[in-house]
Structure 1
Amino acid sequence: MDNEREPVRVVIVDDEQLVRVALRLVIDGEPDLTVVAEAADGDAAITVVDEQRPDVVLMDVRMPGRDGLSATREILTRRAPPRVLMLTTFDSDALVLGALDAGALGFVLKDTPPPRILDAVRTVAEGNPVLSPAATARVIAAATGPRSSYARDSSREAARKQLAALTERELETARAIADGLGNPEIARRLHISIATVKAHTGNLFAKLAVENRVQIALLVRDAEE
């Protein structure tokens, strides 16, 4: 028993009680996850986080009073802050980039299937960023913007040259990351273990000289344009 890991402690922040109840039911149904508190707005979220010291905060973006972006910025100033996973019904460039700029490690939409939300919570708890496929597309579009055909050709060649150094499995992993998948989903898609996914991802960071998964997604998108 002493060797068993403690469940990931989660705080749910959403102004809609029904959403909080639904998320609690889904999360508390997993043996490795547990909801330790809820909050209905950003100010309450900050108070609850200070009291409970959770591992992950599932944070709504838009709420009355202090919104999720402002609360996230405040929470992440704490010593040893929790990981923050933004959850919203809204899908826009400003929100996605705003959440990432605020320091959130993940961004998923509220209509994401429960298994994917659970995977996202686990991925963020491990310190790894995760974006829903829709959010990934938004980040890539906002980061690249309109470019000339010459710029696209140059970026395509540079990206393809970088990706050419990858093994077939590493390339498959990179494409899965570009699709917005977390480690558990990549493992299922490629029929490999999560440990192997982590190994491939570590190789991608080293070989591609990138710092995060969004940069990997951008390279894949440039190479395939």
Structure 2
Amino acid sequence: MAERARDPKQEAAEHVFFSPHPDDVALCAYASLLGVPRGVVPTLVTVFSQSCWEFALPVDPSRAMAVTSLRMGEDRRFARAHGADLVHLGFRDTSLRAPPGGLPEPEEARAALASRVRLALEEVLVNVSPDAVCYVPLGISSHVDHLMVRDAVRALRGGRNVVYYEDLPYSAHHPEDEIVDYAWALGLSPRCLDMTALWAAKVRGLSFYASQLEPHTLPAVEAHARRLGSGRGLCERVWTVAS
């Protein structure tokens, strides 16, 4: 897609959301997206946008074109509705590289892919202000796609102005102390963002990704938000480098 001309006065206020797959920002960092200052156009970068995953086994690789087209369309409509620029990097997700029930992805292939992902993200970041805020997955799910994105951006930015969002719906299935210990081991401190008044908006945002929502997804995401709200509302949580 055509690049947007950037106003140098706004460089320090850029907000770039790195999403391993279509729907991750809507699931995990919606409060942060809505919190981007007025007048600043956020950028969504979807890294692994090719897929054949349709929540049924065995997966059917011949469905990759149809599934990918559907997912990318959902992503475009979400970005348009939220006034965001969108970049698809076009990498294949794990459903195509190492289908469930099949052979694991060879370490050599995974390492080579990680290098290509890092190069692609470096090309994105070369046009981003050093003061921009970059949002990446925390990695609590240990999903290889999430970890590749997190580690690449973290290395390329030197950890500076990087915000880590909790991987959902995976985080909902981890005990709270496990999440906290995991984040603290990365040298991060938490910040809870109140979503109580914005929850209906988040549900509408997630509805753009209808093909990617299983029946248990929304209940799990809401349960995690209520757990973070400690009985006082619903929250999303992000993590940043501790002072």
Q: Do both share a fold (TM > 0.5)?
A: no
Larger relative contact order (Cα-Cα within 8 Å, sequence gap ≥ 6): 2
Structure with greater helix share of residues = 1
Q: Provide TM-score, normalisation by structure 1.
A: 0.31
Larger-gyration structure (1/2): 1
